Structure 1
Amino acid sequence: MEAKVVRWGDDLAVRLTPAEAEELGIREGETVEMTVTRKAARRRLVNGEPVPTLAEMIAEMERLGPSHRPRTVDWGPDVGAEIIRDD
């Protein structure tokens, strides 16, 4: 099942179609209890692919070895606000 998260004032709400609400057996005004587990709470793209967390991406990079680590970028000498001169 796919549900859209929308802004409702300062809050976020999950929008269900009438068919989804009927499938879940819920009606407007009812209070529902949601149980979220790490696995079930994962966001998924519309095509069904899971969205990896940063920790998962780093773990995969480490698993693949040094050849998959990003290259260090040489930005050249410091210039501008990052240099603090107290003279």
Structure 2
Amino acid sequence: MKTQVQKWGNSLAVRIPKAFADETGLQQETPVEMTVEEGGLVVRPVRGPQVSLADLLEKVTPDNLHGEVDFGPAVGREIW
């Protein structure tokens, strides 16, 4: 696909077509990494590390385990 670079304030911008955004998982405010490779501009979404519940639970120790928290009496149709 060919498009044009546009002026945006003091910077330049390229619109990302919806089909490209959908295919790459890009949304408004998605962090991206931009690099120059072989004379071309490459934009990739920044993905955080995938963390499983097991990974998180592995980090629970007697030192950082908190006790029960009293949230007060039931307000709606909570079941205690």
Q: Relative contact order (C-alpha < 8 Å, sep 6+): which is higher?
A: 2
* TM-score strictly above 0.5: no
TM-score (normalizing by structure 2): 0.41
TM-score (normalizing by structure 1): 0.38
Please state which structure has a larger fraction of its residues in strand.
2
